[in-house]
Amino acid sequence: MPELPEVEVVRAGLEPAVTGATVSSVAVFDARSLRRHPAPAEDFVARLVGRRMRAAVRRGKFLWFPLDDAVEDAAEEGVPEALVAHLGMSGQVLLRDRAADDARTRVRLELDHPEHGALRLNFVDQRIFGSMAIDGLLPTGDGEPGGYAGDGASGPLVPSRVAHIARDPLDPAFDDRRFLAALARRRTGVKRALLDQTLVSGIGNIYADESLWAARVHPEQPTDRLSRVRARRLLGEVRLVLARALDEGGTSFDAQYVNVNGASGYFSHSLNAYGQQGRPCPRCGRPIVREAFMNRGSHYCPFCQRVRV
């Protein structure tokens, strides 16, 4: 599943193309990709065509594109709206010219941009776990921007379906002190806490394993027995790992994760723990192990990462 770095790579690639672009037409080829939209596909189309996108914003693994005021009262009066996208397991948002097409395109948006001209946005999803929807925007509880937008254009609004998702560690409005205090109160394993989207968003299985390895913290370390110093170190390593993954375009193990131009990321070549079971730990040389964890796996070094009580 795409995690924060992969979704941010997509957001950054889309930003210059969608900001200021007007939706000239919409084609829905598979209504299952609109299952989180609160009305039929015809409503989705009617509420998008003719509207201008103002930005590309992300919180955790969610993307959204705030829309200008509704055309012909298509939106609920007084409620600002956004097009919200979640990539699910295999979703892709591909930027094309009007002559290009992609297999397994579920939703297609034709855009007219004042500088870049005619563009095509294909929402491609092999397994159809991702989705698009039009959603109302709510004020953020802290008055800060709803999510990360590279040009700073995100106002203090967040889609209603994203409001329960915590901020991610790369969000300028992320509150370190609040996170560390909440982490200490969790009384659970630290990896389980890192994957809790109501505590911190965007850290999936890959980057949790990599961050825990870098901080020398066992995945099952109880959060209430994790010292403040080690918790701060872990948060710092989370940010470093996410930043490195961003620099390398994310992690691609197959063709399902690509950026908006269809190119793969290469952070998979920099992994120290995830998927490295049986190989020597880059730090101590002992074998990395894999253990079952929440229908997935945890990868760690039993020597470097020990539970501390």
Residues with a known catalytic role: 2-3, 61, 296
Residue 259 contacts residue 13 (beta carbons within 8 Å) = yes
Q: Report CA torsion sign: 243, 10, 264, 92.
A: positive
23: three-class secondary structure by DSSP: strand
Using alpha carbons, select from 107, 108, 111 the residue that is nearest to residue 21: 111
Which residue in this structure is represented by tokens 């790579």? Answer: 9
List the structure tokens of 184.
């200490």
Which residue in this structure is represented by tokens 């070094």? Answer: 301
H/E stretch holding 91 reads strand 91-96
List the structure tokens of 111.
């855009």
Q: Report CA torsion sign: 18, 73, 63, 140.
A: positive
List the structure tokens of 97.
């010219």
Residue 10 contacts residue 260 (beta carbons within 8 Å) = yes
Phi, psi (5° rounding) for residue 113? Answer: -110, 140
Which residue in this structure is represented by tokens 């253990």? Answer: 291
CA 104 to chain centre: 21
